Structure 1
């Protein structure tokens, strides 16, 4: 899924000026994919997560909800993804989830897969930042024009930063189309 991620300069000032939302999403996804749960991040990756992931700046953070949407199309199929995703972080009890619907507006899908991915980071090892949770919730629907994922997943971890994204893949007789929420 991720190809040719731009090399990221660890300077916070440079990161804020030079990266688009898509590049930030790609880099955070690359970091999520690279590390195992419980593994400490490199210095540069930890700095990137600290700069761009949501922060839990109080011991008990209320539910943070974001409305998400995205669309994509080609000559055979068009689709959009919308609704909301949320994450809730406490001292050790956490949860994430959402209510996300993918709708095909042109063409005939054979399968729609809607996903919410959540990655959380906290202290690991001797005080470094590491991945403490990585979970994807998925709903798959066949031969329909829409697919809704409405689910919440609770977990236990000490969370300092997190990312939560929604995306969908629409399969059709000629291939597949991806949609990422922004």
Structure 2
């Protein structure tokens, strides 16, 4: 089984990555790295810089993942600032910002960035449309307790192990796995 190193500080994210890639015959190894996240309006640029930084530290093929929650009624906010916004106002803050809004549509975008030399970065994007729930569900992590993917009535948190069937991260990782199988093995 081919192995790839996933660099992040987020153990929960690693478990998802590990499960999704294992189904594609790829073993994920975890490198707990506190990577600098540049502040920019471009999710792509954030992922690219994280990949360069991770490769510089590890000197081996790596993947990183960056994602964002884009809420329509908030003009795409928190978007690429999702991690910071979650740390500062959390799910409660997002629900407060949506009070009185009829449009609760949102989407999650995931970008997986791969590098095997630190300079050539390959990006793989996954998206999932959905809505923001009225209340915070139990369980999950990050925005999982408030995001309801299209086609179901449960939040990512309530979907538990079924989350990967709807996940933006899964969409991006499957594209990466297909590319890796064609171009790298």
Fold shared per TM-score above 0.5: no
More helix as a share of residues = 2
* TM-score, scaled relative to structure 2: 0.31
Higher relative contact order (CA 8 A, sep 6+): 1
